[in-house]
């Protein structure tokens, strides 16, 4: 791997821009108001609540056909795979990450590079699901991101020079960081990846100015975490849970439950929301019990890391249905009363609406065409398991694939990491989803540090002949699918919606697409030259509305997709960020 490198490729205009913007800090107020401001994007989620809704309407369903590409920036080199980043924009500068833990600052007007940072990665990194990175956090004069060898790196946002580097966990034990960190109330908060290696998941808070750790909260029900005072770890007795209560013996110490996607935040309740991944190993017969807090959503106090409430979507998970997917805060009226709700679409195929104040289950419903492992949800939202739906116990069976079952959805999920969006205008969630099944069976396994800890075999198959991906508009109050768009290849990129009655997403075939938010009619497409697995954003600059998205095929599908991988085997990898705008003279529709 290359050593740390800051490539200073300043053009005259870019250098002048960087110098002139040096005094503009990203404040807590900027971050809290991101969903309402239109001239920047300073949070992953276009707002801490993760709605990915822009109030901009200059670009709308009547004129989106006039959207034009204005520049494309290449990440360069031979590292062209899995570009899952969401760009950030502040004061005319775009900050975007690329595969292999790289960060770029780009002039948002011209696409010229201002600076580049390449992390020094060791040869032994062990990311389970490609060498991706999903973005940065901006705070004060710093750009902060996580690396594949489980470090946090803070860079000066104007020069790209290193301010501090902090080791979060041991990459040789299987840890990594792929998510964009989140800034809440002056704290830098991150989770970790590595659930397939038997790590102990955790959420931690750091001082964004110094890298000093403030608190740590393991997401496996073992020890309860620590707050740090005067540099010393103090046991956090109010963190909730009980050591080993739902785990046999000491298995929690290799229990997974990695919060690998990152979090959202609700200011009205001062609550962080993090999802947690699969318990380890996949072979559920080795770990009887609910295995908290795996495959769950956690409501966390950002001040000390204590857990306010939890909701487990797949207790005693035996299918790798990680519960990491984003929790989006939203309000709706019910019988004249305002409900403070939170929504999440799980890999297991169910969509959940919860009370975000206390975690109570409000309703749940399938958002995919078929679910085989459960027949429904009970009054508390707990799945009702189908008979013989769980892979068998290899200790009681003989044969290489004994106890194999067909499960739907496949472990890559009804929805995986790719974020959905919520429109404040339509009241609908726009969910990027997939229709696939899997043959899955359990195997004997023992833990070895740094080795895959699965205890299962699998083959993923398309559920239909002509499509796998489905973009769905879902009504969270009724469970109704309002409209759907079917795509040949799996959908693996995020979604954005706007007050202009638009929904944007990308496809592995390379297209950035826009749809009518109310009807699902496809209104716009542009081929970027490689699969789009990033998440689009929009902002305005000099009176014109812009849209940007990273392009570059990769991620988990071609690595883990089984028979599905054949559908995408000819797709080209890539590494670019594309920027479009609606010219001011084309605002009126033709």
Along the 590 residues of the chain, how does pLDDT read in single tens digits?
Answer: 333 444 444 444 444 444 444 448 999 999 999 999 999 999 999 999 999 999 999 999 999 999 999 999 999 877 888 999 999 999 999 999 999 999 999 999 999 999 999 999 999 899 999 999 999 999 999 999 999 999 999 999 999 999 999 999 999 999 999 999 999 999 999 999 999 999 999 999 999 999 999 999 999 988 778 899 888 888 775 555 566 789 999 999 999 999 999 999 999 999 999 999 999 999 999 999 999 999 999 999 999 999 999 999 999 999 999 999 999 999 999 999 999 999 999 999 999 999 999 999 999 999 999 999 999 999 999 999 999 999 999 999 988 888 999 999 999 999 999 999 999 999 999 999 999 999 999 999 999 999 999 999 999 999 999 999 999 999 999 999 999 999 999 999 999 999 999 999 999 999 999 999 999 999 999 999 999 999 999 999 999 999 999 999 999 999 988 899 889 999 999 999 999 999 888 888 64
ω into 428 cis (within 30 of 0): no
Tokens of 432: 């990027």
Burial environment of residue 6 by CB neighbours within 10 A (0 to 12, 13 to 18, 19 or more): middle
Tokens linked to 53: 């809704």
43 is in an annotated binding site: no
Q: Count the Cβ atoms, other than its own, within 10 Å of residue 121.
A: 20
Residue 255, both tokens: 């229990």
DSSP type of residue 181: P
Token reading at 333: 């009226």
Question: Which two structure tokens, joined as six digits, stand for 299?
Answer: 């409501």
Taking CB atoms within 8 Å and a gap of at least 24, the contacts of 72-75 are 72/111, 72/528, 72/576, 72/577, 72/578, 72/579, 73/104, 73/106, 73/111, 73/113, 73/576, 73/577, 73/579, 74/575, 74/576, 75/99, 75/102, 75/104, 75/552, 75/575, 75/576, 75/577
Q: Among the options 320, 322, 346, 439, which is catalytic?
A: 320
pTM of the model: 0.95
Q: Are 151 and 130 in contact (CB under 8 A)?
A: no
65 is in an annotated binding site: no
- In degrees rounded to 5, what are phi and psi of residue 384? -100, 100
Q: What percent of the residues of the chain are helix, what percent strand, and what percent coil, each to the nearest 5?
A: 5, 40, 55
Greatest pairwise CA separation for the chain in angstroms: 71
84 is in an annotated binding site: yes
Catalytic (active site) residue 388: no
Question: Is 572 marked as a binding-site residue?
Answer: no
Q: For the chain, which domains are there?
A: 5-62+79-586 (2.140.10.10)
């Amino acid at each position: 791997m290359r050593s740390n490198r800051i490539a200073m490729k300043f053009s005259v205009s870019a250098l002048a821009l960087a110098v002139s913007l040096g005094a503009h800090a990203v404040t807590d107020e900027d971050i809290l108001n991101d969903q309402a401001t239109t001239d920047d994007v300073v949070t992953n989620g276009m707002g801490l609540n993760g709605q990915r809704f822009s109030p901009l309407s200059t670009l709308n369903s009547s004129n989106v056909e006039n959207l034009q590409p204005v520049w494309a920036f290449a990440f360069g080199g031979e590292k062209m795979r899995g570009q899952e980043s969401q760009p950030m924009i502040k004061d005319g500068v775009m900050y975007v990450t690329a595969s292999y833990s790289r960060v770029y600052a780009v002039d948002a007007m011209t696409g010229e590079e201002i600076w580049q940072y390449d992390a020094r990665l060791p040869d032994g990194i062990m990311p389970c699901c490609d060498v991706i990175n999903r973005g940065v956090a901006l705070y004060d004069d710093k750009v902060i991101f996580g690396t594949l060898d489980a470090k946090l790196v803070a860079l000066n946002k104007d020069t790209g020079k290193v301010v501090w580097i902090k080791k979060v966990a041991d990459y040789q034990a299987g840890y990594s960081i792929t998510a964009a960190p989140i800034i809440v109330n002056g704290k830098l908060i991150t989770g970790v990846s590595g659930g397939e290696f038997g790590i102990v998941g955790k959420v931690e808070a750091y001082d964004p100015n110094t890298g000093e750790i403030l608190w740590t909260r393991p997401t496996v029900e073992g020890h309860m975490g620590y707050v740090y005072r005067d540099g010393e770890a103090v046991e956090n007795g109010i963190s909730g849970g009980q050591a080993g209560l739902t785990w046999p013996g000491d298995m929690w110490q290799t229990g997974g439950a990695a919060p690998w996607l990152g979090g959202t935040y609700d200011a009205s309740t001062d609550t962080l929301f993090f999802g947690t991944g699969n318990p380890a190993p996949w072979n559920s017969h080795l770990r009887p019990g609910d295995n908290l807090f795996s495959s769950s959503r956690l409501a966390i106090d950002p001040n000390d890391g204590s857990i306010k409430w939890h909701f487990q979507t797949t207790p005693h998970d035996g299918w790798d249905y990680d519960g990491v997917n984003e929790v989006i805060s939203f309000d709706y009226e019910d019988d004249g009363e305002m409900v403070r709700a939170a929504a999440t679409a799980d890999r297991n195929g169910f969509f959940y609406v919860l009370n975000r104040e206390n975690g109570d289950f409000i309703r749940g419903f399938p958002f995919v065409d078929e679910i085989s492992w459960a027949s429904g949800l009970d009054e508390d939202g707990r799945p009702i398991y189908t008979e013989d739906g769980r892979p068998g116990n290899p200790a009681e069976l003989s044969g290489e694939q004994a106890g194999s079952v067909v499960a739907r959805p496949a472990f890559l999920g009804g929805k995986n990491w790719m974020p959905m969006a919520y429109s404040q205008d339509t009241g609908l969630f726009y969910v990027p989803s997939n229709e696939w099944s899997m043959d899955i069976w359990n195997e004997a396994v023992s833990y070895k540090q740094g080795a895959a800890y699965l205890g299962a075999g699998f083959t993923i198959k398309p559920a239909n002949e002509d499509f796998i991906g489905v973009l769905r508009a879902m009504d969270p109050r009724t469970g109704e699918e309002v409209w759907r768009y079917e795509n040949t290849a799996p959908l693996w990129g995020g979604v954005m919606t706007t007050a202009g009655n638009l929904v944007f997403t990308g496809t592995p075939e390379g297209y950035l697409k826009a749809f009518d938010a109310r009807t699902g009619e496809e209104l716009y497409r542009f081929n970027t030259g490689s699969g789009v697995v990033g998440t689009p954003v929009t902002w305005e600059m000099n009176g014109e509305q812009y849209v940007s998205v990273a392009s570059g095929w990769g991620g988990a599908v071609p690595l883990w997709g089984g028979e599905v991988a054949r559908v995408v085997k000819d797709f080209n990898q890539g590494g670019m960020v594309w920027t479009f705008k609606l010219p001011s003279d084309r605002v009126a529709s033709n």
